[in-house]
Structure 1
Amino acid sequence: MADPLKTPTPRVADAPRTPTVVVDGVHVTYTVNGGPADGRGAATAALSRMLRRGRTAPAGRRVHAVKGVSFVAYRGEAIGLIGSNGSGKSTLLKAIAGLQPVERGQVHTMGQPSLLGVNAALMSDLTGERNVILGGLAMGMSRAEVRERYDEIVDFSGINEKHDAISLPMRTYSSGMGARLRFAIAAAKSHDVLLIDEALATGDARFRRRSQRRIDELRAEAGTVFLVSHSNSTITETCERALWLESGTLRMDGPAKEVVAAYEEFTATGAGPGTGPGA
Structure 2
Amino acid sequence: MAEQNNGTPSHIPTVIADELHVVYRVNGGKGGKGSATAALSRILRRGESPGVRKVHAVKGVSFTAYRGESIGLIGSNGSGKSTLLKAVAGLLPAERGTVYTHGQPSLLGVNAALMNDLTGEKNVILGGLAMGMSREQVRERYDGIVDFSGINEKGDFISLPMRTYSSGMAARLRFSIAAAKDHDVLMIDEALATGDRKFQKRSEERIRELRKEAGTVFLVSHNNKSIRDTCDRVLWLERGELLMDGPTDEVIKAYEKETGK
Tell me if TM exceeds 0.5: yes
Q: Which amino acid in the other structure matches residue 32 of structure 1?
A: V
Equivalent in 209, 228, 233 of residue 241 of structure 1 = 233
> In the alignment, is the contact (CA less than 8 A) between 1:191 and 1:218 conserved in 2?
yes
**Tell me, what secondary structure is at the counterpart of 2:123?**
helix
Q: Does 1:21 align with 2:18?
A: no
Map of 1:165 onto structure 2: 157
How much does 1:13 deviate?
Answer: 8.4
Aligned-residue CA RMSD in angstroms? 2.0
Cα distance between partner residues in 1 of 2:167 and 2:210: 25
Map of 1:219 onto structure 2: 211
Structure 1: 5+ residue stretches without partners: 1-9, 35-48, 274-279
How much does 1:226 deviate?
Answer: 0.1
Larger radius of gyration: 1
Map of 1:151 onto structure 2: 143
Map of 2:172 onto structure 1: 180
Equivalent in 111, 136, 140 of residue 132 of structure 2 = 140
How much does 1:119 deviate?
Answer: 6.9
Map of 1:251 onto structure 2: 243
Cα distance between partner residues in 2 of 1:167 and 1:94: 32
**Tell me, what secondary structure is at the counterpart of 1:132?**
helix
* Percentage of pairs with the same residue: 72
Cα distance between partner residues in 2 of 1:264 and 1:14: 26
How much does 1:118 deviate?
Answer: 3.8
> In structure 2, do the counterparts of structure 1 residues 15 and 204 end up closer, same or farther at CA, with 3 Å as the change threshold?
closer
1:161-199 CA deviation, whole Å, 9 max, x = no partner?
111111111111111111100100010010000000000
Cα distance between partner residues in 2 of 1:86 and 1:156: 32
Cα distance between partner residues in 2 of 1:161 and 1:238: 26
Map of 1:129 onto structure 2: 121
> In structure 2, do the counterparts of structure 1 residues 250 and 224 end up closer, same or farther at CA, with 3 Å as the change threshold?
same
> In the alignment, is the contact (CA less than 8 A) between 1:236 and 1:256 conserved in 2?
yes
Map of 1:55 onto structure 2: 32
How much does 1:59 deviate?
Answer: 2.2
TM-score in terms of structure 2 length: 0.88
How much does 1:33 deviate?
Answer: 4.3
Bigger drift between 77-86 and 169-178 goes to: 169-178
Q: Which amino acid in the other structure matches residue 124 of structure 1?
A: N
> In the alignment, is the contact (CA less than 8 A) between 1:187 and 1:214 conserved in 2?
yes
Cα distance between partner residues in 1 of 2:8 and 2:153: 47
Q: Does 1:83 align with 2:75?
A: yes
Cα distance between partner residues in 2 of 1:106 and 1:174: 39
Cα distance between partner residues in 1 of 2:141 and 2:210: 16
Cα distance between partner residues in 2 of 1:267 and 1:15: 30
> In structure 2, do the counterparts of structure 1 residues 198 and 16 end up closer, same or farther at CA, with 3 Å as the change threshold?
closer
Cα distance between partner residues in 2 of 1:12 and 1:257: 20
How much does 1:121 deviate?
Answer: 2.8
How much does 1:120 deviate?
Answer: 6.5
1:76-120 CA deviation, whole Å, 9 max, x = no partner?
000000001000000000000000111000000011100001477
> In the alignment, is the contact (CA less than 8 A) between 2:9 and 2:68 conserved in 1?
no
TM-score in terms of structure 1 length: 0.83
**Tell me, what secondary structure is at the counterpart of 2:99?**
strand
Q: Which amino acid in the other structure matches residue 13 of structure 2?
A: P
Aligned residues: 243
Give every structure 1 segment of 4 or more consecutive aligned residues whose post-TM-superposition deviation is greater than 6 Å.
Answer: none
